[in-house]
Structure 1
Amino acid sequence: MILADKIIRLRKKNGWSQEELAGKMNVSRQAVSKWEGAQAIPDLEKILRLGELFGVTTDYLLKDDIEDEEFTDPNLDSSVKRITLADANEFMEWRKSASIWIATATFLCILSVIPLFILGAASEIPSVGISENFAGGVGLIALFSIVAIAVGIYIYTGIKNAPYEFLDKEPFDAEYGVRGMVREKQKAYRNTYVKGNIIGGCFCVLSPIALCAGVFTENEFLITVMLSVTMLIAGIGVVFFIIAGVRWASMQKLLKEGEFSVQGKKVSRVKESMGTIYWLVVTAVYLGWSFVTNSWHSTWIVWPVAGVLFAAVMILCNLFVDKNH
């Protein structure tokens, strides 16, 4: 393979256009075009720069009989998957879309119990003419239907994310230029990430105001409506958290930083398992209590209490993980 073909191959692996490579080499696009068309040969200084830029040896660039890339890192493990610039950009673009899907599914899960709450409270009003059994039945149908849509979205994002699962499960290396590019994107996104978390936090903190306002009335239906408004506002806050967090996490994952470092992955797996178990238990308690007592209008208290206790559970989880690592 001649030098011209190797330059084309390496440029495309890194996801660069001729203009981008020319900018990195401080030459014109026409010069790169001539190199790739075998109409001109870079001088020695440019050869050395190409080797540094692509992370390959000058022997690989200059010797036509060397077909396989020879990287300048002597410790590079060829069995470890290497992330190119194109791979990194594709992954971050997908996670940008996935953040919307995941936020939508989570928002639906939060709102799924609202029809059950509203119908349950309405059944207590004689003038409405809805029986408790009818309200409970329709409310449960709505709950499971909405959750089914959310689960479908989660499954879809999981399938679409399958090609990138190795980032969590296997060691990987980034080709030359990938980390620099990701850091630039991370730097540009930082303000948006901070704003997303601030807005999400404000929505979550302010969400109980609606429920507190309902305390000043003895109308149970109005209290239930205020509870639903509280959940709606909290759900909006969660959406901001997820969209900002998923996009930020995609960059940290490529950089192997934060919770995606070797130590961070261990901590994250423990916290994720604890969180899953916790909410499954809470859901089981809520449904069990509600079915046994048929008091759907009052068993909703499980959710705000569980939300408050969840913070305590996560703090204890962090203390346990820190103590054992």
Structure 2
Amino acid sequence: MILADKITDLRKKNGWSQEELANQLGVSRQAVSKWESASSIPDLDKIVKMSIIFGVSTDYLLKDSLEAGRDTEEILGYNTAELGMDEKAIQMISMETANVYLELLRNISSKIALGVSLCILSPIMLIGLTGVSDKKEGMILSVEVAVGIGMTILLLMVAVAVAIFIIYGRKMEVYDFLEKEPIELAYGVKGLVEKEKLGYEAAHSRNLVLGIVLCILSAVPIMVLAVSDKNGMLTIVGVNLCLILVSIGVYLLVSTGIVYGGFQRLLEEGDYTRSQKIENKRNDVIDKIYWCSVTASYLGWSFITMEWEKTWIVWPIAGVFYGAVVGISSVIRKH
């Protein structure tokens, strides 16, 4: 526990509000609030006074160590045995590590998002060329040639995307423990991360709204153009426009999700609370089997039918169904 957490813990144990503690120390309530959020550090004389008021030593307040006599699991809020480690293995995140990690996420978020968008856009040429060659007699391109060119472009775009995932994924491997293991933030880090997260909230909300709206509206070109389509050409255009809108929407969702996820990992919020990390470890095997099966089904269906404009629907359905699978497995374990 850092000083900020100890002040909060001891104040609540004594049943005092921030204002009541501030009165005893001769400071403002805002000062106490900043101490507890790790936005600022109390002066030494205030630390000495707090040790007298709380009945603890100054060493206890100043040293980032667990309180003697308390159960580690009670303090940390999770069962360390379930994670296959003890409290000594908890990694301390310094200010420098947090800053480097967040800066790395900002740099790679757009690249990873671009890779995902390339995968979505990859069948556009295949759909367009095969559609044109099939509908128009006397076209220079035969269906076979159109499929060959379209598949080549598709595979090239997917290959570029995979290269992006591998290159930038390897850069993130050193931080994998943030998703799986409990962490402890060094003094002042929590306040810094919370401040940056607060500053990013507006951009995150905007990108979420735009991304979701674009994905919803992506079906509009197909519906509008299909109404007046006589030879199927407008439907093909509509499908490609749909994929373009989806790719833009997904780009916004993925890029903002990566950055915002970094804040949640450091603060152990959302999907990265300590209890959730235990649950995630239990679901590791399920995750691998499930997503490998989904990927195999998607590729099999797509290559057999060559209806890439339809098979993408596998992913949103798989994402929703995954929640149900995890929920059911959790209920089964509890019983």
> Normalising by structure 2, what TM-score?
0.70
Quote the offset at 1:258 in angstroms.
1.1
Of 151, 154, 160, the residue aligned with 2:165 is 154
For 1:79 and 1:48, how far apart are their aligned partners in 2?
A: 31
| Structure 2 residue aligned with 1:97 | 107
For 2:274 and 2:40, how far apart are their aligned partners in 1?
A: 32
Aligned with 1:71: secondary structure?
Answer: coil
For 1:229 and 1:305, how far apart are their aligned partners in 2?
A: 16
For 1:307 and 1:79, how far apart are their aligned partners in 2?
A: 37
Quote the offset at 1:241 in angstroms.
0.7
Of 123, 128, 134, the residue aligned with 2:139 is 128
Matched to 1:100, the amino acid is S
CA-based RMSD of the aligned residues comes to: 3.0
| Structure 2 residue aligned with 1:71 | 64
Matched to 1:143, the amino acid is L
Residues 1-325 of structure 1: pairs in structure 2 closer than 5 A: 24=40, 45=45, 71-74=64-67, 77-124=87-134, 125-216=136-227, 217-265=229-277, 266=279, 269=284, 270=286, 274-290=290-306, 299-303=307-311, 305-307=313-315, 309-310=317-318, 312-314=320-322, 316-317=324-325, 319-321=327-329, 323-324=331-332
% same residue:
25
For 1:70 and 1:289, how far apart are their aligned partners in 2?
A: 64
For 2:188 and 2:130, how far apart are their aligned partners in 1?
A: 58
Deviations 1:217-273 (A, max 9, x none): 122222112101101001111111111111111011011111112343435755676
For 2:317 and 2:91, how far apart are their aligned partners in 1?
A: 41
For 1:188 and 1:271, how far apart are their aligned partners in 2?
A: 33
For 2:319 and 2:295, how far apart are their aligned partners in 1?
A: 12
Quote the offset at 1:280 in angstroms.
3.0
For 1:119 and 1:133, how far apart are their aligned partners in 2?
A: 10
Quote the offset at 1:138 in angstroms.
0.9
Quote the offset at 1:309 in angstroms.
3.4
For 2:208 and 2:320, how far apart are their aligned partners in 1?
A: 20
For 1:180 and 1:308, how far apart are their aligned partners in 2?
A: 36
Q: Which runs of 5+ in 1 are unaligned?
A: 1-22, 28-43, 52-56, 61-68, 291-298
Deviations 1:44-73 (A, max 9, x none): 628869x9xxxxx9669xxxxxxxx95343
| Structure 2 residue aligned with 1:5 | none
The question of whether the paired residues in 1 share the 8 Å contact of 2:301 and 2:311 is answered with no
The question of whether the paired residues in 1 share the 8 Å contact of 2:119 and 2:157 is answered with yes
Quote the offset at 1:167 in angstroms.
1.4
Quote the offset at 1:105 in angstroms.
0.2
The question of whether the paired residues in 1 share the 8 Å contact of 2:226 and 2:234 is answered with no
The question of whether the paired residues in 2 share the 8 Å contact of 1:282 and 1:302 is answered with no
Quote the offset at 1:275 in angstroms.
4.2
Is the alpha carbon distance of 1:200 and 1:85 closer, same or farther for their aligned partners in structure 2, counting shifts above 3 Å? same
Query: In terms of mean alpha carbon deviation, does 163-172 or 186-195 score higher?
Result: 163-172
Matched to 1:118, the amino acid is G
Is the alpha carbon distance of 1:272 and 1:192 closer, same or farther for their aligned partners in structure 2, counting shifts above 3 Å? farther
Quote the offset at 1:177 in angstroms.
1.5
Deviations 1:73-95 (A, max 9, x none): 34784442210111111111111
The question of whether the paired residues in 2 share the 8 Å contact of 1:105 and 1:151 is answered with yes
For 1:71 and 1:271, how far apart are their aligned partners in 2?
A: 36
> Normalising by structure 1, what TM-score?
0.72
Matched to 2:174, the amino acid is P
Matched to 2:271, the amino acid is E
The question of whether the paired residues in 2 share the 8 Å contact of 1:25 and 1:46 is answered with no
